[in-house]
Amino acid sequence: MKRIIFGFIASVWVLSTWLIWYSCVSAQYTDREVARAVEWLVTRGEWEQRKPLLQKLDKVLPVAKEKFAGRASAIKILDQIQKAVSEKLTICVSDTPEQAYVSSSLQTDTSIRSIPLDEVLSGGPPKDGIPAINDPKFVDIATANQWGYLNDTSEWVVVSDGDDVRFYPFQILNRHEIVNDTVGNKNIAVTFCPLCGTAITFSREFDGEVINFWVSGKLHNSNLLMYDDRTESLWSQAIGKGVVGFYTDLQLEYVDSDVIDYSTYVSKYPNGKVLSDDTGYDRNYKLNSPYGDYTTNDDLYFPVENLDTSLPKKEMLYVVNDTDNEVSIAFVQTDLAESGRASINVEGINYTAIYTNGKVSVTRSTDWAEIGTFTQMWFSWTAHDYFPRYLRNAE
């Protein structure tokens, strides 16, 4: 696929009929695979070349289609590429970079975006006012027990890679929201938005590099907008996707993690590590939430789009975003915990969720792959128009 796209870029100057024919004649690709290849191409080299490369592709594609008139397989992939290019061009809204956030020290190129800037709100703290943890320390369980504020029902995000198992307490995540870490061989970002209940772990290996994420101080649909340390693009934490800046429309890879209580962790992983409260910042980690009783009332502090009241706003869900098939599936947390099992058929694919002592595993029937889940409040899941959404209560 990369050779195909490079053929089209070369064709901006010298259209090589033979090269395009050789690459396209027998290709069978999904729209998503083609879109990824186009994205791969336009994020090579200098950042400011993204829109010009898309424009060159857009101009040469009609010429290429004329050259291959009558070759159905070639026309099919050319149509796919043209669709992907057109979609990418819609997020490049002006020819010159804007700096709408310069007053808050963000160097985000707002000329590229997939959401309206007037929907991006200040959450109160400025850029890095909520400091991400970039050099996390860890202690054993015996040391964590001495802190005095962890109890059996304290909730944690758990990430493991082989024998390396780590716990990230909500008491600490509440006040930092992002931990850039390496677990085993995985470079990850453990993220948590207290306003949405979204506890999601992403890979930091992106675009051929390992990047770090930080807290921008901005919100969209009451959800944390992260920024990366390479381009300061803004990323929606709820969907793991760039929404403003150079990386707009690019998707992060999900890393499997679980949210379980402390007693379960201690019994299951007696040699596990615990994120230390020695973070280098003066924060009160004894408080469960910076927003008081926010999780137990029905109030939202910030406006959201597509508010759905068919369930309580803050009903907790287990969510699966199947990026391969472009669907988002949710299971009501309390129902799944009670029954231990639920399944749903979506577009001919059966997704089965199994709950065991706080750990949730979801498999799909096409390849029996296990897809990572994360927690999210109902209002947040319905507010983010990402993939088609499907809700399933427990059986």
Helix (H) or strand (E) holding 60: helix 50-67
More confident of the two residues 14 and 152: 152
What tokens does 211 get? 């990047």
Most confident option among 27-31, 190-194, 335-339, 370-374:
190-194
Please check whether residue 359 is in contact with residue 289, taking contact to mean a CB–CB distance below 8 angstroms: no
pLDDT band at 66 (very low <50, low <70, confident <90, very high): confident
Please check whether residue 281 is in contact with residue 137, taking contact to mean a CB–CB distance below 8 angstroms: no
What is the mean predicted confidence (pLDDT) over 217-232? 95
Q: What is the pLDDT of residue 24?
A: 45
Q: What is the pLDDT of residue 327?
A: 92
Q: Taking every pair of C-alpha atoms in the chain, what is the biggest distance, in angstroms?
A: 74
Q: What is the pLDDT of residue 317?
A: 95
What confidence tens digit (pLDDT) does each residue in 41-62 have? 766 656 567 777 888 888 888 8
pLDDT band at 313 (very low <50, low <70, confident <90, very high): very high
Q: What is the pLDDT of residue 15?
A: 34
Distance CA 331, CA 316 (A): 9
Q: What is the pLDDT of residue 30?
A: 67
Cα-based angle 264, 266, 268 (whole degrees, multiple of 5):
65
Distance CA 6, CA 19 (A): 10
Note the pTM of the prediction, 2 decimals. Answer: 0.85
**Average pLDDT value for the chain:** 85
Distance CA 342, CA 336 (A): 7
Q: What is the pLDDT of residue 3?
A: 52
Distance CA 244, CA 108 (A): 7
What confidence tens digit (pLDDT) does each residue in 11-38 have? 443 333 433 443 444 456 666 667 767 7
Q: What is the pLDDT of residue 46?
A: 62
What confidence tens digit (pLDDT) does each residue in 86-100 have? 878 888 887 778 888
What is the mean predicted confidence (pLDDT) over 144-167? 88
Q: Is the pLDDT of residue 322 over 70?
A: yes
What is the mean predicted confidence (pLDDT) over 114-126? 92
- Which residues touch 119 (CB under 8 Å, ≥6 apart)? 220, 221, 305
What tokens does 11 get? 């064709």
Order of strands across the sheet that contains 198-203: 178-183, 186-193, 198-203, 374-377, 316-322, 327-332, 389-392
Query: What percentage of the chain carries pLDDT values higher than 70?
Result: 88
More confident of the two residues 180 and 248: 180
156 SS3 class: strand
